[in-house]
Amino acid sequence: MQATRIVAIRHGETAWNVDTRIQGHLDIPLNTTGLWQADQVARALADEPITAIYTSDLKRAHATAQAVARSTGAPLTTHTGLRERSFGHFQGRTFAEIEAELPEDAYRWRKRDPHYAPEGGESLVTLRERIERTVAQLAQQHLDEQVVMVAHGGVLDVLYRLATRQDIQAPRTWQLSNAAINRLLWTPDGLSLVGWADTQHLDNNALRDETHS
């Protein structure tokens, strides 16, 4: 059976990641660490055969993808289907603020109610359907090839669940690290997991200090 190899990457770090502030569809840029992480993941993928790069249009993902495009020479295409989950009125708030200001909403969110959507946002069911549809649409254009998809934590969470056949409400036991390398295989039967949360390229602190000295 023909298959498409997918390298899935969460964008580099932003200031709002550090503050645990919900970004959703708000367009927050990478911070200094995030820019460094983008460069490191780009170096790690520089020698791999990559046919195409697809990215969320939000600047934190797009900037990460641009670094990979520069290092690999692969064409870069934006796709709104790879955007983070829309968190509606949660966007711009920290986890602590949501708990204090919207306790009932926070409870349903924390329990991963699959049909709950923050006011103006998406439910987990809607997000899963969007990601599954987008990935299938892109992957089937690249059978027997390897592509990179740069997206967001919520998107990567869905990809892991789809690849491991885990329920949408199952507690998360896997990492969603910024700029980690995650590998999946897509066939017409769906996704399967090849490797997850590889951060070896981010472990060289000496190189980081030298880069930003």
Catalytic (active-site) positions:
11, 84
Q: 3-class DSSP state for residue 149?
A: strand
Half-sphere exposure of 57 (CA within 13 A, CB side): 5
* Interstrand relation of 146-151 and 52-55 (parallel, antiparallel or unpaired): parallel
* Interstrand relation of 4-10 and 181-187 (parallel, antiparallel or unpaired): antiparallel
Q: How many CB atoms lie under 10 A from the CB of residue 150?
A: 32
Closest CA to 14 of 102, 84, 88: 84
